[in-house]
């Protein structure tokens, strides 16, 4: 296997001349790097803060790379050395209390309307029809065999998927014991099976495809798919353990300039680096002790995230359960043996029982009308807010809420007693179109408030979950959705394997359910919008233009999930790949590298 440039030093790197310098070697950054370096006349450098161990058994901290590559280990990297472990400030709405190498490999897209809304906001070229070629360009879809198609209801529309892209997309060969009950249960509740969930509507019940290479049964992601095959190219240079502290801006004819810089540091760190470079709202920069170069009021604003609760149920103890691998070393060893020798068994199983539903499917018309009526106390709505409220209407058949069921205890709050010998299953409920909007900003540390903020200082991450002028509506929606989650789990045939609700405890009444939601809501790790495209409002409503160029300065662009002006109803990774593919295409167009 090709090795990374592990011997490259910072001194070696800075002696090279680059046409483009990409900050962040994650999902988007490595896509852009690979596509730009396909032009042999361009030299592309990538600065990645983390360490890499592709082609090795362990990384520099001794952490096993199997935690990344083996599908069944997908939860083990969270909270480890590869995880930035960002924390929000205390959230009043919660009682004051991502990368492609760490995600859960779910491969789906939002609905057509999600992307068309970006275009309707004034971001030309960002509708569904514009993005679909780039979705397809990123992927190679592998058709499942007939047994999987029939037994697991692994449906697809071959016209909507790619056949020659770097990311390998497949359906698992094996599924958890609850999966065979999922479709029948939702069908019993008048939810139709979606036979083409990648084709512009994800509404309904379906089996998810995954970013997994089907022969090796390993994770397919940006490093293995976009970087490694091209790592030997002399015009593609990656430096790891390289932390970017800011962008150095020069003045040319009265304008601030930083040519060839592409920020792909994600929804948290892209705005951080921009602010540390002197581009942000004047009050934020003044408080952080940073000189103002460009007053850009929306940097770090517009943070939107998917909110999630997890309901845990006691299930039939005879069912094979992923939690068993944590407590039974013999079973864990057997699972490992099967994976290594036959690429089968529990370590190939992923959570694939998915359902997206509009609120109108289970919320009464009266309650839905009260939720979607514009509050009379608010005399002005932004164009973005209007879009979000419109999405909640009766007529919009969109996936307002995502449900996922799988065996195992997925809750970070529920701590069962191992001595009881009980087994569990979990319903995940995820709000897709949050009305709550927050921010991410730099600020000086409390211990040294007089010095300027730096890249190592803790950020003020404030999603404002269930807060702000519309956050209470998110809470009411989640409460309604939680009730339906329990209805799903009390419906046959899924109900046949469920013994009782374990969390929230049975003692929590329906009237107390909302308070339980407040206390147990967590993020689904899908932050977007902090460097959003401005559309018609340009700098007044956004940070970058429709070609992802930072307003107020020449040269820098942002390419990652932070440019999304509105949240989508989907897991983010497929969309981030499409954004990066489109961005690379636009950049090459702009420099005459190729394009129409």
Residue ranges of the binding site: 99, 244, 525-526
Closest residue by Cα to residue 396 from 430, 363, 427: 363
> Cβ contacts of residue 489 below 8 Å, gap of 6+?
311, 313, 405, 427, 495, 498, 501
Is residue 542 a contact partner of residue 298, using CB atoms and an 8 Å limit? Answer: yes
Residue with tokens 């036959």: 342
Name the 3-class secondary structure at 183: helix
Q: Is 380 a catalytic residue?
A: no
How far apart, in whole angstroms, are the C-alpha atoms of residue 417 and residue 515?
Answer: 24
Helix (H) or strand (E) holding 204: strand 204-207
* DSSP state for residue 203 in the 8-state scheme: -
How far apart, in whole angstroms, are the C-alpha atoms of residue 449 and residue 461?
Answer: 18
Segments in 343-364 forming alpha helices (H) = none
> Cβ contacts of residue 136 below 8 Å, gap of 6+?
160, 161, 162, 163, 165
Q: Which of the residues 179, 526, 551, 585 is marked catalytic? A: 526
What is the CA angle 251-257-260, rounded to 5?
150
Closest residue by Cα to residue 434 from 399, 461, 479, 466: 466
- Binding residues for FAD are 99, 244, 525-526
What the block records as the tokens of 571 is 């897991």
Residue with tokens 């295409």: 585
Q: Are strands 139-141 and 167-169 parallel, antiparallel or unpaired?
A: parallel
What the block records as the tokens of 75 is 């939860």
User: Which neighbouring-strand residues pair with 462?
Assistant: 439
Q: Please state, as a whole number, how many other Cβ atoms lie within 10 Å of the Cβ of residue 90.
A: 10
Name the 3-class secondary structure at 575: helix
Concatenated DSSP letters of 360-428: GGTS-HHHHHHHHSPPTT-----HHHHHHHHHTSTT-----EEEEEEES---SS----GGG--EEEEEE
Q: Is 472 a catalytic residue?
A: no
Q: Which of the residues 179, 441, 571, 585 is marked catalytic? A: 571
How far apart, in whole angstroms, are the C-alpha atoms of residue 514 and residue 297?
Answer: 35
Q: % helix / strand / coil in the chain, to the nearest 5?
A: 30, 15, 50
Closest residue by Cα to residue 580 from 124, 112, 211, 226: 226
Closest residue by Cα to residue 87 from 423, 460, 374, 444: 460
Is residue 206 a contact partner of residue 193, using CB atoms and an 8 Å limit? Answer: yes
How far apart, in whole angstroms, are the C-alpha atoms of residue 137 and residue 265?
Answer: 22
Residues identified as active-site:
526, 571
């Amino acid at each position: 296997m090709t090795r990374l440039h592990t011997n490259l030093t910072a001194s070696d790197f800075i002696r090279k001349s680059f046409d483009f310098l990409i900050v962040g070697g994650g999902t988007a950054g490595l896509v852009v790097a690979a596509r730009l370096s396909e032009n042999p006349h361009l030299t592309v450098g990538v600065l990645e803060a983390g360490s890499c161990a592709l082609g090795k058994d362990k990384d520099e901290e001794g952490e096993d790379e199997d935690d990344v590559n083996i599908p069944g280990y997908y939860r083990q990297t969270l909270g480890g050395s590869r995880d930035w472990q960002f924390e929000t400030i205390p959230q009043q709405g919660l009682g004051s209390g991502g990368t492609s190498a760490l995600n859960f490999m779910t491969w789906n897209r939002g609905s057509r309307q999600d992307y068309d809304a970006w275009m309707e906001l004034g971001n030309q070229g960002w509708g569904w029809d514009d993005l679909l070629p780039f979705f397809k360009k990123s992927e190679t879809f592998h058709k499942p065999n007939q047994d999987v198609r029939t037994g697991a209801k692994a449906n697809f529309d071959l016209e909507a998927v790619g056949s020659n892209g770097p990311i390998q997309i497949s359906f698992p060969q094996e599924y958890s014991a609850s999966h065979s009950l999922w479709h029948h249960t939702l069908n019993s509740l008048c939810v139709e099976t979606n036979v083409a969930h990648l084709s512009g509507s994800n509404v309904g019940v379906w089996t998810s495809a995954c970013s997994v290479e089907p022969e090796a049964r390993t994770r397919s992601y940006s490093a293995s798919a976009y970087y490694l095959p091209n790592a030997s190219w002399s015009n593609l240079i990656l430096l790891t353990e390289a932390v970017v502290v800011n962008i150095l801006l020069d003045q040319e004819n009265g304008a601030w300039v930083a040519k060839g810089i592409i920020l792909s540091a994600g929804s948290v760190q892209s705005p951080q680096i921009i602010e540390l470079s002197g581009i942000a709202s004047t009050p934020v920069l003044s408080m952080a002790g940073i000189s103002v170069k460009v007053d850009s009021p929306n940097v770090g604003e517009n943070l939107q995230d998917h909110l999630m609760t997890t309901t845990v149920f006691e299930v039939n103890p005879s069912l094979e359960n992923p939690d068993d691998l944590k407590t039974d070393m013999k079973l864990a060893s057997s699972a490992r043996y099967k994976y290594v020798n036959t690429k089968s068994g529990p370590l190939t199983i992923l959570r694939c029982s998915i359902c997206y539903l509009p609120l109108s499917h289970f919320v009464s018309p009266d309650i839905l009308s009260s939720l979607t009526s514009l509050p009379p106390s608010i005399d002005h709505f932004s164009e973005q807010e209007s879009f979000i409220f419109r999405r909640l209407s009766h007529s919009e058949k969109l996936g307002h809420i995502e449900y996922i069921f799988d065996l195992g205890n997925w809750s970070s709050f529920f701590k069962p007693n191992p001595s009881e010998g009980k087994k569990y299953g979990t319903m995940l409920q995820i709000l897709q179109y949050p009305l709550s909007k927050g921010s991410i900003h730099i600020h000086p540390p409390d211990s040294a408030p007089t010095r300027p903020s730096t890249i190592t200082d803790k950020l003020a991450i404030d999603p404002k979950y269930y807060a702000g002028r519309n956050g209470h509506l998110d809470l009411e929606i989640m409460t309604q959705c939680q009730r339906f989650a329990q209805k799903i789990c009390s419906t046959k045939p899924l109900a046949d394997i469920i013994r009782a609700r374990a969390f929230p405890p049975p003692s929590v009444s329906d009237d107390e359910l909302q308070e339980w939601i407040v206390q147990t809501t967590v993020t689904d790790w899908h932050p977007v919008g902090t460097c959003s495209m401005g559309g018609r409002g340009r700098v007044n409503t956004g940070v970058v233009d429709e070609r992802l160029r930072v307003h107020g300065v020449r040269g820098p662009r942002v390419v990652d999930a932070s440019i999304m002006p509105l949240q989508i109803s989907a897991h983010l990774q497929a969309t981030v790949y499409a954004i990066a593919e489109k961005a690379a295409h636009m950049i090459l167009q702009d420099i005459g590298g190729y394009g129409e």
